[in-house]
């Protein structure tokens, strides 16, 4: 039985890192949404920080950061009309590939799931191409937490639907203390014309204990101007 997006994102206490790509109801903004969650003190010691057109995960309290690997990275970058979003340092892999005129798929063929045994967290990534008005999502994951090979799924959308986003996240649930990877096609979820409404809809609905930070990025379809909304547990921009 297929679960609703509410079941997978809101009733699931730990969907993990989540990407949404789509179009506002008015058709005037391409939309990217990304949030991070965490259960350990080290993972929760993060905020999103904007650096001009990019966004980075940074330590909220640098003195308390224990291991920055896998949790400190740029989730948002853009180059030549390609707006990249991911849950790890593969953002840089994709960014460098586009700089060399390579493809989204080629970039991610060089990467695998994260090495955080026994969970082997999937690497999820997305791209909005503002020139062709198309978008793609990807997930790199194990089969039932077996790290001996990597499954690579790519989902390509050659047009947008107003008010609709497609969503992919890292974890479908937990079994015997092991986090299980997202399965199936990306979820269809709602988007709104206001960045604030979009941000609050998701921020207020995901698990309050585990959520850390959320960002919304609007790319205006007419002039490609970019706007951000960032919510951190510690501060709001």
Q: In this structure, what CATH number is given to the domain that contains residue 148?
A: 3.60.20.20
Kindly provide the residue ranges of all beta strands, DSSP E only, lying in 87-236, ordered along the sequence: 123-129, 134-143, 146-157, 164-169, 171-175, 178-181, 187-190, 211-220, 226-232
What's the pLDDT score for residue 2?
A: 57
CA pair distance 151, 95, nearest whole angstrom: 22
CA pair distance 217, 187, nearest whole angstrom: 19
Total count of domains within the chain: 1
Residues of the chain with pLDDT below 70 are 1-2, 236-237
CA pair distance 144, 133, nearest whole angstrom: 35
The pTM is what? 0.96
Is 166 contained in some domain?
A: yes
Is 237 contained in some domain?
A: no
Is 96 contained in some domain?
A: yes
The domain in which residue 213 lies consists of 5-232
Give the residue ranges of DSSP H helices in the chain: 5, 41-44, 90-99, 104-108, 195-203
Is 185 contained in some domain?
A: yes
Is 69 contained in some domain?
A: yes
């Amino acid at each position: 039985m297929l679960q609703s997006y509410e079941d997978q994102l809101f009733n699931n206490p730990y969907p993990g890192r989540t990407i949404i790509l789509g179009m506002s109801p008015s058709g005037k903004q391409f939309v990217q949404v990304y949030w991070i969650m965490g259960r350990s003190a080290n993972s929760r010691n993060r905020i999103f920080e904007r650096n001009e057109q990019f966004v980075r995960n940074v330590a909220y309290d640098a003195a308390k950061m224990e291991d920055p690997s896998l949790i400190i990275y740029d989730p948002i970058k853009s180059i030549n009309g390609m707006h990249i979003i991911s849950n790890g340092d593969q953002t840089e892999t994709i960014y460098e590939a586009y700089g060399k005129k390579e493809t989204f798929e080629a970039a991610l063929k060089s990467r695998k799931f994260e090495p955080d045994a026994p969970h082997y967290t999937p690497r999820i990534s997305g791209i909005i191409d503002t020139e062709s008005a198309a978008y793609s999502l990807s997930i790199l994951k194990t089969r039932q937490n077996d790290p001996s090979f990597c499954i690579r799924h790519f989902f390509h959308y050659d047009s947008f639907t107003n008010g609709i986003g497609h969503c992919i996240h890292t974890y479908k649930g937990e079994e015997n203390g092991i986090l299980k990877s997202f399965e199936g096609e990306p979820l269809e979820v709602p988007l709104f014309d206001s960045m604030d409404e979009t941000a609050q809809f998701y921020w207020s609905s995901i698990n309050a204990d585990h959520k850390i930070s959320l960002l919304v990025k609007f790319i205006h379809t007419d002039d490609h101007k970019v706007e951000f909304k960032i919510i951190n547990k510690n501060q709001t921009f």
